[in-house]
Amino acid sequence: MSKTIQIFDTTLRDGTQGEKVSFSAEDKIRIAQRLDEFGVTYIEGGWPGSNPKDMAFFERAKQHTFQNAKIVAFGSTCRAGNSPEEDPNLCALIEAETPAVSIFGKSWLLHVTDALKITPEENLSMITRSVNYLKEHNKEVIYDAEHFFDGYKHDPEYALSTLKAAESAGASVLVLCDTNGGTLTHEVSTIVAEVARQVNTPLGIHTHNDCELAVANSLAAITAGAVHVQGTVNGYGERCGNANLCSVIPNLQLKMGYHCVPDDQIEQLSKLSRFVSELGNLIPDHKQPFVGKSAFAHKGGIHVSAVIKNADTYEHIRPEVVGNKRRVLVSDLSGKSNVAYKSEELGFDFDKRSASSGEIVQALKERENGGYQYEAAEASFELLVKKISDEAPEFFKLEGFRVMMERNGKDEYRSEATIKVRVNDRIELSAAEGNGPVHALDAALRRALREFYPEIASMHLQDYKVRVLNEKDGTAAKVRVLIDSADENSSWGTVGVSENIIDASWQALSEGMTYFLMTRNSKPQKTKSVNKNQILTG
């Protein structure tokens, strides 16, 4: 039977100390519920004595039942000169009414003498009395030995004495913290192994990523004897972040044979990562191992050809195991294998031996050189392939549009778009207002097409992004517009590139509408001959 490792999630506490990371009390409840479903052992909700938002979280947490995880309140040992009974921090931990608490104390003499300005003996007394007091209130106490590795390297005997003070008072776990994130992996291995021989209480590990070693150091500590690991979803945290549980957990469970979360939950890891990013209004890191969008993305033609034959050639695990998926990118590095794989993935045929196959690959490379990217615009990719293969339907043809925006002295804005399109040899002219020029253009196009294709009422714009491609050109720079559209069943991305942001938006907007009508099997106009030179130039 595999050895069980306690997973202590501190996303809601240590994670929120990271730059640009902020969660409301309601966000924290939703994340805690998701972490509980995922199967972590502990969820550290915050520091109830430090701010009203954390206290609000603990009040709301009392109203929820958590099936797998224990909610943990965080704080410090009592302050010098305070008795535990009168210490505001410890009183707040009791009032939080969580089954477990996590308190930190000083392990490094530098902090004892220079920061707290107390004697080493007073520090040991504060640790012992604080843990004792919390135990008397029936709390499970997780003791975080702050700056432990730095303290141990400075004075091993005193650092160990702080652990033994917490152990003698009844702490259930002694967590060795690399608070500054500067300890190297071989040092972690050696020190954890030495400490394990000196104490009887289970050891934990808490690492920071200042040397980009937080995950490696966590794994090394487990190998050396720790049974409890702390970290955050996506590695959020102060400075360079904490140990990333989205890497720690799969490495321990899938590669090292430990048990961290239920086997049927590990495939939820990628969704958990995105969920936390979304609630924090943070852009997901596509390059993040295991759960990132690029973790199993293949771009080079030789790589793609090998992966199609045997995925083990360029993938260390199956992406589905952690809820991710393989992606084959089409770009200036693509070969026919990339296009064939992507075409099959999107459900349409691409014959690598066809006369148009080389032309399609060349078109992709030239368009990407011009600023187009199809990695997040797979609908535009499919339409491009169909256009070059003379298989693209034409539901409408643009005859022209005009967009106006007005602002008056009261800072009131008005955008209006007029559009002329041809549908089945009939000219349709319409106008509409919107919150902005792209919104107005979208509304005008819908008004022009609704008589012919009433089904467009079920699709909507889901996201709109603009990227400046050549900043040195200032306001004359070329831009790339990505639009995500969706209906009740699916979503799709389209792309447009131009020196004119409205023109780039039109490209993405019109292709999104065309793709929707095509997948809905709407009745299009007859396919007309395509000028392939026009396709290559946009």
DSSP-derived 3-state class of residue 210: coil
Tens of pLDDT, residue by residue over 135-155, are: 999 999 999 999 999 999 999
Q: Give the rounded percent of residues in the chain with a pLDDT score beyond 70.
A: 90
CATH number at residue 187: 3.20.20.70
Which among 249, 279, 309 is the end of a domain? 279
CA distances from 38 to 5, 272, 302, 364 (A): 14, 8, 37, 41
pLDDT value of position 527: 40
Strands 491-498 and 140-146, how do they pair? unpaired
DSSP-derived 3-state class of residue 503: helix
Residue 381 inside a domain? The answer is no
pLDDT value of position 336: 58
Burial per residue of 86-96, b for 16 or more beta-carbon CB atoms within 10 angstroms, e otherwise: ebebbbbbbeb
Number of domains in the chain: 3
Same domain, yes or no, for 318 and 169? no
CATH number at residue 488: 3.30.160.270
**Mean local confidence (pLDDT), 175-191:** 98
Segments forming the whole domain that contains residue 431 = 397-537
Same domain, yes or no, for 184 and 269? yes
Which residues lie below 8 Å from residue 459, measured CB to CB, with a gap of 6+?
485, 486, 487, 512, 513, 516
Same domain, yes or no, for 117 and 246? yes
**Diameter of the chain by CA atoms?**
91
Instruction: Report how far Cα 93 is from the mean position of its chain's Cα atoms.
Output: 31
Tens of pLDDT, residue by residue over 385-435, are: 888 878 888 999 999 999 998 887 777 888 999 999 999 889 999 999 998
Q: Which residues lie across from 103 on neighbouring strands?
A: 75, 143
Same domain, yes or no, for 409 and 352? no
Q: Which residues lie across from 461 on neighbouring strands?
A: 485
Same domain, yes or no, for 188 and 216? yes
Q: What is the mean pLDDT of the chain?
A: 89
User: Nearest CA to 319 among 270, 258, 359, 284?
Assistant: 270
CA distance linking residue 8 with residue 337, whole number of Å:
44
DSSP letter for each residue of 279-346: HTT----TT-TTTSTTTTEE-SHHHHHHHHH-GGGT-SS-GGGGT---EE--STT--HHHHHHHHHHH
Residue 67 inside a domain? The answer is yes
User: In residues, how long is the chain?
Assistant: 538
Local structure of residue 115 (DSSP, 8 states): I
Same domain, yes or no, for 308 and 265? no
CA distance linking residue 133 with residue 90, whole number of Å:
9
Q: Is the pLDDT of residue 478 over 60?
A: yes
DSSP-derived 3-state class of residue 8: strand
DSSP letter for each residue of 151-167: HHHH-HHHHHHHHHHHH
DSSP letter for each residue of 88-112: HHHHHHHHTT-SEEEEEEE--HHII
CA distances from 349 to 341, 345, 352, 390 (A): 10, 10, 10, 13
Q: Which residues lie across from 406 on neighbouring strands?
A: 414
CA distance linking residue 142 with residue 144, whole number of Å:
6
Alpha-helical regions (H) of 370-488? 378-388, 437-449
pLDDT value of position 349: 59
Same domain, yes or no, for 26 and 164? yes
Tokens of 438: 């792209």
Asked whether the beta carbons of 305 and 337 are under 8 A apart, the reply is: yes
CA distances from 323 to 267, 268, 272 (A): 4, 6, 9
**What one-letter code names the amino acid at 84?**
P
**Lowest-confidence range among 243-252, 408-417, 495-504?**
408-417
Burial per residue of 260-298, b for 16 or more beta-carbon CB atoms within 10 angstroms, e otherwise: bbeeebbebbbebbbbbbebbeeebbeebbbbbbbbbbb
Tens of pLDDT, residue by residue over 50-104, are: 788 899 999 999 999 999 999 999 999 999 989 999 999 999 999 999 999 999 9
Which among 331, 349, 369 is the end of a domain? 369
Question: pLDDT-based confidence at 537, cuts 50/70/90?
Answer: very low
Residue 291 inside a domain? The answer is no
Residue 85 inside a domain? The answer is yes
Token pair 């190998």 in the structure block, residue:
223
DSSP-derived 3-state class of residue 263: coil
Which among 279, 308, 335 is the end of a domain? 279
CA distance linking residue 278 with residue 234, whole number of Å:
12
Same domain, yes or no, for 27 and 168? yes
Residue 391 inside a domain? The answer is no
pLDDT value of position 532: 41
Same domain, yes or no, for 208 and 255? yes
Same domain, yes or no, for 317 and 454? no
Q: Give the rounded percent of residues in the chain with a pLDDT score beyond 90.
A: 67
pLDDT value of position 263: 94
Phi and psi at residue 452, to the nearest 5°: -85, -35
CA angle, 358 then 395 then 512, to 5°: 70
Asked whether the beta carbons of 42 and 6 are under 8 A apart, the reply is: yes
pLDDT value of position 2: 80
Same domain, yes or no, for 346 and 407? no
Residue 392 inside a domain? The answer is no
Same domain, yes or no, for 341 and 272? no
Residue 226 inside a domain? The answer is yes
Local structure of residue 254 (DSSP, 8 states): I
**Mean local confidence (pLDDT), 441-448:** 95
Residue 377 inside a domain? The answer is no
Query: Which H/E stretch holds residue 230?
Result: strand 228-231
Burial of 84 (0-12, 13-18, 19+ CB in 10 A): buried
